């Protein structure tokens, strides 16, 4: 801007501040018998609302005392935190350190899932509710579970304050009654509920039910509630509007912009009227940002600060005409209380899920002293059962401590799920799933999987959590699977067999802690091997078995694909009993199969993870039927008894005894883009003592490039084994199942 233009604007602002505003402020002061009251109004706008923090920084610097605050959506959240005592510096720190993408999603850590959910995690790319026997769309992309968790934590000091006028600064926020289309003014109630309703952007967040009414984002009808601040008693209004004018046709070039326009179209009609009610209107330059632009909060804060500084003369005049009383206790920071003495736990909102299941997942024996983090972890375990759309809490006074009120919204019980996958070993596959909850008993899950591919698979499982501590549950699984087996001898392919197995497992388990499970199971197994290409003296064969096994599992991994932190351990001991009716000419004694898998993901840096692990196993007894041997080969496997080994083809080597160690360095140079260097070493032998043979060990190494996409992990791997000249290429697309 030319110098003379800037000078002219500055002189005009000074003139306005010097001659026009003092008269208005003085008149307001006369009506109140002293200083005029100041209202701060913050508009909605999604991510653009972060600019409000920059404005508040300048208001504090200018010495402005705010007497009333009104806001909508993100403006409501920023305004509420300022109203209950957070200062500008704290708000800025929150905005800059918040993982916005994670907080605005419902993605639950693999670690916090219940046992039955961990088993199926990482299989499905898409999930749709089943209502009335038909596939339907969800009410929103996210239920706001993590958003509500954050709001609950930040507002803990005022959980028992129902009247928002009793905050350090009186406050209100706006939501929209989706049934009537009218604005709902929240100036009392439970603050996290009001804020969550005010930011329930249609189609993005599910609506919020409060006192029997259903609410969505207040920006639908009243995005800039200046008139409501006037009603609160504000004489002078400072309005901050971050909602840009409606986009032109050529600007509607993204889904985020189209959804933003759809939500705020009606609200824009009221915005012009509300803007005219402002005494000082601050409009940050948010060009280049939309409602979902959370990736650069620092720039949004800077732009808010710049817009407020442009009106600093007016703000300084206001501060001079309406000074803060020197002896007034103003905006006391919220008292932070990390430990809570919980006297009782009460669960609200249950309809079909048993109370014992919820309390079993909480694992809190009252009375008990817990931290806020421990409460949140307990609720994560409840949410991890996947029976609920949302799980949150509030603390209510219950002398001599507090009562923990756990509030649940039960999820749609039935779902249709879809998984897509391709890899170099199993080729393309489509996985269809139907999941039904609470069909046969409260806390139960019935699941049907159908794998449509060259290697078909069918699985039906039923698991029920009894709610009996410590996490006692039971389950039954029926399965059928068929795939090609390639047999190698001295690195040469000598046969191609059709491997079919089917049977069932009956299981009893206890999840004595969310990451840990101990179980015992009875298994009936049928196996059939048929040759496709094989030496002439090979014959088809089949056997059936009665097996018994016990297992111990520990799983604290944060996710299945491209794991960044956590531990995994699985130990199993199985007794294999061949059914004597299978082949009366052969005497089969019992065979004992022991196996252990250990892995760790250790974050060495924000973008670097060290992956370490090992697996080993041994078979005791004779004779051992070939499918029960330990098999090594390929990058990933999802079949029992088959283990990955870089530098070998799928199931290339086998034996009665096996031991492998592996390691990898996984780098994430850009978000969700990964590069890995991998290596493994080990041995397979007929005798356990031969595993220590170092003359001819198995060694492999390679590198991978991958990314985490909406379909799941995409990964390309190049590997090589010692003693061979060829490279093994492996492609993986989508979640493995």
β 516-533/541-555 pair status: antiparallel
Instruction: Of 643, 653, 635, give the one whose Cα is nearest residue 723.
Output: 653
pLDDT over 70 percentage in the chain? 88
Q: Residue 291: its pLDDT value, please?
A: 79
- Report whether the peptide linkage leading into residue 470 is cis, meaning its omega lies within 30 degrees of zero: yes
Instruction: Of 154, 45, 149, give the one whose Cα is nearest residue 106.
Output: 149
Q: Give the model confidence (pLDDT) of 578-633 as tens digits.
A: 876 555 556 667 899 999 999 999 999 989 999 999 999 999 998 888 889 999 99
Q: How confident is the model at residue 259 (pLDDT cuts 50, 70, 90)?
A: low
**In this model, does residue 33 exceed pLDDT 60?**
no
Average pLDDT over residues 503-530: 90
Q: Residue 730: its pLDDT value, please?
A: 95
Average pLDDT over residues 61-79: 95
What letter would DSSP give residue 645?
A: B
**In this model, does residue 131 exceed pLDDT 70?**
yes
**In this model, does residue 335 exceed pLDDT 90?**
no
Report the CATH number of the 471-734 domain. Answer: 2.40.160.50
The domain made up of 339-410 has a fold known as Ubiquitin-like (UB roll) (3.10.20)
**In this model, does residue 90 exceed pLDDT 80?**
yes
Average pLDDT over residues 150-169: 93
- Report whether the peptide linkage leading into residue 400 is cis, meaning its omega lies within 30 degrees of zero: yes
DSSP 158-211: GTT--BGGGSSS-EEEEEEETTT--EEEESBS-HHHHHHHHT--TEEE--EEET
pLDDT, greater one: 536 or 223: 223
Mean residue pLDDT of the chain comes to: 86
Q: Residue 715: its pLDDT value, please?
A: 97
**In this model, does residue 12 exceed pLDDT 50?**
no
Rounded-to-integer distance, Cα 58 and Cα 715, Å: 48
Average pLDDT over residues 30-37: 66
Per-residue burial over 682-703, b = 16 or more CB atoms within 10 Å of its CB, e = otherwise:
bbbbeeeeebeeeeeebbbbbb
Token reading at 119: 């088993």
**In this model, does residue 667 exceed pLDDT 70?**
yes
Q: Residue 17: its pLDDT value, please?
A: 42
Query: Distance of alpha carbon 40 from its chain centroid, rounded?
Result: 34
* Beta-bridge partner residues of 642: 631
Q: What are the catalytic residues? A: 73, 217
Q: Residue 571: its pLDDT value, please?
A: 97
**Hey, how many other C-beta atoms are within 10 angstroms of the C-beta on 360?**
23
Q: Residue 268: its pLDDT value, please?
A: 67
Rounded-to-integer distance, Cα 156 and Cα 394, Å: 8
Rounded-to-integer distance, Cα 217 and Cα 200, Å: 4
Instruction: Of 402, 405, 406, give the one whose Cα is nearest residue 340.
Output: 402
Average pLDDT over residues 28-44: 77
Q: Give the model confidence (pLDDT) of 203-247 as tens digits.
A: 788 899 999 999 999 988 999 999 999 999 999 999 999 986 666
Rounded-to-integer distance, Cα 494 and Cα 472, Å: 48
Instruction: Of 579, 469, 451, give the one whose Cα is nearest residue 523.
Output: 579
Q: Residue 587: its pLDDT value, please?
A: 61
Q: Residue 539: its pLDDT value, please?
A: 66
Beta strands of 12-94 (E only): which ranges?
Answer: 38-42, 68-72
**Hey, how many other C-beta atoms are within 10 angstroms of the C-beta on 221?**
22
Which helix (H) or strand (E) element contains residue 329? none
Q: Residue 532: its pLDDT value, please?
A: 82
Instruction: Of 38, 275, 73, give the one whose Cα is nearest residue 183.
Output: 73
Q: Give the model confidence (pLDDT) of 630-660 as tens digits.
A: 999 999 876 788 999 999 998 889 999 999 9
Residue ranges matching CATH 3.10.20.310 in the chain: 339-410
Q: How confident is the model at residue 11 (pLDDT cuts 50, 70, 90)?
A: very low
Q: Which CATH superfamily is domain 38-106+143-321 in?
A: Cytosolic phospholipase A2 catalytic domain (3.40.1090.10)
Where is average pLDDT lowest: 30-44, 586-600, 661-675?
Answer: 30-44
**In this model, does residue 257 exceed pLDDT 80?**
no
**In this model, does residue 2 exceed pLDDT 50?**
no
Q: Residue 354: its pLDDT value, please?
A: 83
Rounded-to-integer distance, Cα 640 and Cα 628, Å: 9
Where is average pLDDT lowest: 66-80, 136-150, 510-524?
Answer: 136-150
Q: How confident is the model at residue 10 (pLDDT cuts 50, 70, 90)?
A: very low
Q: Residue 585: its pLDDT value, please?
A: 58
Instruction: Of 534, 568, 528, give the one whose Cα is nearest residue 552.
Output: 568
**In this model, does residue 15 exceed pLDDT 50?**
no
Instruction: Of 540, 538, 537, give the one whose Cα is nearest residue 529.
Output: 540
pLDDT, greater one: 394 or 28: 394
Rounded-to-integer distance, Cα 630 and Cα 618, Å: 8
> Which of helix, strand or coil describes residue 716?
strand
Rounded-to-integer distance, Cα 716 and Cα 733, Å: 9
Residue ranges matching CATH 2.40.160.50 in the chain: 471-734
Rounded-to-integer distance, Cα 124 and Cα 681, Å: 32
Average pLDDT over residues 93-116: 85
Rounded-to-integer distance, Cα 54 and Cα 68, Å: 18
Average pLDDT over residues 686-695: 83
Helix %, strand %, coil % for the chain, to 5? 25, 40, 35
**In this model, does residue 356 exceed pLDDT 50?**
yes
pLDDT, greater one: 641 or 321: 641
Q: Residue 332: its pLDDT value, please?
A: 64
pLDDT, greater one: 321 or 588: 321
Residue ranges matching CATH 3.40.1090.10 in the chain: 38-106+143-321
**In this model, does residue 674 exceed pLDDT 60?**
yes
Q: Residue 591: its pLDDT value, please?
A: 94
CB 521 within 8 A of CB 507: yes
Q: Give the model confidence (pLDDT) of 459-509 as tens digits.
A: 999 998 876 777 788 999 999 999 888 777 776 778 888 889 999 999 999
Q: Give the model confidence (pLDDT) of 287-320 as tens digits.
A: 888 878 888 999 999 999 999 999 999 999 998 8
Instruction: Of 415, 513, 508, 444, give the one whose Cα is nearest residue 131.
Output: 415
**In this model, does residue 4 exceed pLDDT 50?**
no
Q: How confident is the model at residue 32 (pLDDT cuts 50, 70, 90)?
A: low
Q: Residue 20: its pLDDT value, please?
A: 43
Q: Residue 379: its pLDDT value, please?
A: 93
Q: Phi/psi zone of residue 523: left (φ > 0), alpha (ψ -120 to 50 degrees), beta? A: beta
**In this model, does residue 51 exceed pLDDT 70?**
yes
**In this model, does residue 21 exceed pLDDT 60?**
no
Where is average pLDDT lowest: 137-141, 346-350, 402-406?
Answer: 137-141
Average pLDDT over residues 88-96: 94
pLDDT, greater one: 281 or 335: 281
**In this model, does residue 46 exceed pLDDT 70?**
yes
Q: Residue 290: its pLDDT value, please?
A: 80
Rounded-to-integer distance, Cα 108 and Cα 558, Å: 9
Q: How confident is the model at residue 331 (pLDDT cuts 50, 70, 90)?
A: low
Residue 169 to residues 82, 219, 232, 240, 280: CA-CA distances in angstroms? Answer: 8, 22, 11, 17, 19
Q: How confident is the model at residue 327 (pLDDT cuts 50, 70, 90)?
A: very low
Q: How confident is the model at residue 538 (pLDDT cuts 50, 70, 90)?
A: confident
Q: Residue 440: its pLDDT value, please?
A: 79
């Amino acid at each position: 801007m030319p110098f003379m233009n800037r000078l002219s604007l500055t002189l005009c602002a000074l003139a306005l501040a010097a001659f026009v505003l003092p008269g208005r402020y003085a008149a307001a002061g006369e009506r109140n018998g002293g200083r005029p009251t100041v209202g701060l109004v913050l508009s909605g706008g999604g991510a653009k609302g972060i600019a409000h923090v920059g404005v508040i920084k300048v208001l504090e610097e200018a010495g402005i005392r705010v007497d009333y605050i009104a806001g909508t959506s993100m403006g409501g959240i920023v305004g509420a935190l300022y109203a209950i005592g957070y200062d500008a510096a704290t708000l800025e720190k929150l905005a800059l350190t918040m993982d916005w993408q994670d907080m605005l999603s419902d993605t639950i850590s693999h670690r916090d899932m219940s046992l039955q959910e961990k088993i199926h995690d990482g299989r499905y790319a898409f999930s749709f509710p089943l209502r009335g026997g038909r596939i339907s769309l969800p009410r929103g992309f996210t239920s706001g579970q993590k958003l509500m968790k954050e709001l609950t934590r930040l507002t803990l000091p005022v959980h028992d304050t129902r009247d928002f006028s009793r905050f350090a600064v009186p406050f209100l926020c706006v939501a929209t009654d989706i049934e009537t289309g009218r604005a709902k003014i929240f100036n009392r109630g439970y603050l996290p509920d009001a804020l969550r309703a005010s930011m329930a952007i249609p189609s993005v967040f599910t609506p919020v039910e409060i006192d029997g009414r259903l609410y969505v984002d207040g920006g639908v009808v009243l995005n800039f509630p200046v008139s409501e601040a006037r009603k609160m008693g504000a004489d002078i209004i400072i309005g901050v509007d971050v909602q840009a004018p409606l986009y032109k046709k050529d600007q509607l070039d993204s889904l985020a912009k189209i959804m933003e326009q759809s939500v705020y179209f009606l609200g824009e009609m009221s915005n012009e009227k509300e803007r005219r009610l402002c005494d000082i209107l601050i409009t940050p330059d948010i060009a280049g940002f939309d409602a979902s632009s959370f990736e650069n909060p620092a720039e949004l804060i800077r732009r808010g600060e710049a817009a407020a500084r442009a009106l600093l003369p007016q703000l300084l005049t206001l501060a001079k005409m309406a000074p803060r009383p020197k002896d007034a206790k103003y905006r006391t920071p919220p008292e932070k209380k990390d430990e809570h003495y919980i006297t009782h736990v009460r669960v609200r909102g249950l309809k079909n899920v048993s109370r014992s299941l919820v309390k079993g997942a909480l694992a809190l024996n009252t009375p008990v002293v817990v931290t806020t983090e421990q409460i949140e972890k307990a609720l994560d375990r409840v949410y991890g059962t996947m029976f609920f759309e949302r799980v949150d809490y509030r603390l209510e006074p219950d002398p001599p401590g507090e009562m923990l009120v756990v509030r649940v919204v039960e999820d749609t019980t039935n779902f249709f799920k879809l998984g897509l996958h391709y890899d170099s070993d199993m080729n393309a596959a489509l996985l269809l799933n139907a999941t039904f909850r609470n069909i046969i008993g409260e806390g139960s899950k019935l699941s049907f999987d159908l794998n449509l591919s060259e290697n078909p698979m069918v699985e039906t499982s039923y698991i029920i959590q009894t709610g009996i501590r410590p996490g006692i549950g039971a389950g039954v699984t029926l399965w059928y699977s068929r795939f090609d087996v390639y047999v190698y001898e001295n690195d040469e392919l000598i046969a191609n067999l059709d491997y079919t197995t089917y049977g069932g497992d009956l299981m009893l388990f206890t999840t004595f802690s969310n990451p840990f499970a101990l179980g015992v199971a009875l298994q009936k197994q049928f196996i059939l091997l048929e040759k496709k290409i094989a030496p002439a003296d090979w014959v088809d064969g089949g056997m059936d078995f009665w097996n018994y096994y016990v297992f111990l599992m520990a799983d604290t991994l944060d996710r299945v694909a491209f794991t960044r932190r956590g531990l995994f351990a699985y130990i199993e001991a199985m007794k294999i009993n061949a059914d004597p009716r299978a082949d009366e000419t052969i005497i089969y004694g019992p065979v004992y199969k022991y196996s252990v898998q250990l892995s760790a993901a250790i974050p060495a840096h924000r973008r670097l993870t060290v992956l370490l692990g090992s697996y080993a196993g041994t078979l005791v007894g004779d004779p051992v039927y070939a499918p029960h041997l330990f098999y090594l080969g390929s990058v990933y496997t999802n079949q029992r008894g088959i283990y990955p080994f870089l530098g070998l083809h799928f199931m290339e080597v086998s034996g009665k005894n096996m031991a492998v160690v592996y390691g990898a360095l996984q780098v994430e140079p850009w978000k969700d883009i990964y590069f890995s260097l991998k290596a493994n070493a080990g041995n397979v032998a007929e005798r356990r003592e031969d595993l220590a043979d170092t003359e001819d060990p198995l060694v492999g190494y390679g590198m991978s490039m991958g990314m985490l996409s909406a379909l799941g992990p995409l990964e390309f791997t190049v590997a090589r084994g010692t003693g061979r000249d060829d490279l093994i290429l492996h492609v993986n697309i989508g979640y493995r199942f």
